[in-house]
Amino acid sequence: MRKSALLFPLVLLLSACASGPDNSAQCGTVSGYLVPDREDELYRVVVTHLNGQAVISKPNYQLAPGVNEFTVAELIDSPQLKVKLAARGTKTLTIDVKPNRRYHLGARFNQDKVYRGLDSDYWQPIVWSEDAHQCAFLPAS
């Protein structure tokens, strides 16, 4: 009787662990392939680093839920842009990726002031759109 009394709580504990949802396949997507609306002064970006690691830019990044840092370079091709090439560096954007969400990266061209020389405040990286998007990591084969 005593062994079964000790064993019963252990069985309940183990079954509760096994019956929880499996979140290991959940992910969100960060995309940079869509061309944003230029009427809103939005332009594309290219990803150079993800969480401090150099990457080869690709259209979509499937990521586990959580905070991720993207280093991006703007692709602004507006004739109003008058800054020197040396000012056209990278900037970082932090995104808290949620499961089954897609985030579209872009660059906002700040035309409210005149930017010249080495002024890098002419743009800022943004998420210009977020939408529902099914995402699941494929099991390893």
Give the integer Cα–Cα distance in Å for 104 and 93: 12
Residue 109, number of CB atoms within 10 A of its CB: 21
With a CB cutoff of 8 Å and minimum separation 6, the contacts of 67 are 94, 95, 96, 97
The partner residues of 123 in beta bridges, in order of sequence, read: 109
Query: Residue 84 domain-assigned?
Result: yes
What pLDDT is attached to residue 39?
86
Query: Residue 1 domain-assigned?
Result: no
Tens-digit pLDDT profile for residues 48-92: 999 999 999 899 999 999 999 999 999 998 888 888 777 788 999
Query: Residue 69 domain-assigned?
Result: yes
Q: How confident is the model at residue 10 (pLDDT cuts 50, 70, 90)?
A: very low
Q: Which amino acid is at 99?
A: P
Under the phi-then-psi rule, with left for phi > 0, alpha for psi from -120 to 50, and beta for the rest, what region is 66?
A: left
Query: Residue 9 domain-assigned?
Result: no
Query: Residue 18 domain-assigned?
Result: no
Query: Residue 89 domain-assigned?
Result: yes
Give the integer Cα–Cα distance in Å for 55 and 123: 22
- Tokens encoding 122: 């002419």
Query: Residue 139 domain-assigned?
Result: no
- When comparing pLDDT for 117 and 61, which is higher? 61
> How many domains does the chain divide into?
1
- When comparing pLDDT for 30 and 7, which is higher? 30
Domain extent for 107: 23-132
Q: How confident is the model at residue 103 (pLDDT cuts 50, 70, 90)?
A: very high
Q: How confident is the model at residue 140 (pLDDT cuts 50, 70, 90)?
A: low
CA dihedral (102, 56, 68, 118) positive or negative: negative
Please, what's the largest Cα pairwise distance for the chain? 84
Query: Residue 114 domain-assigned?
Result: yes
Say if residues 28 and 61 touch (Cβ distance below 8 Å). Answer: no
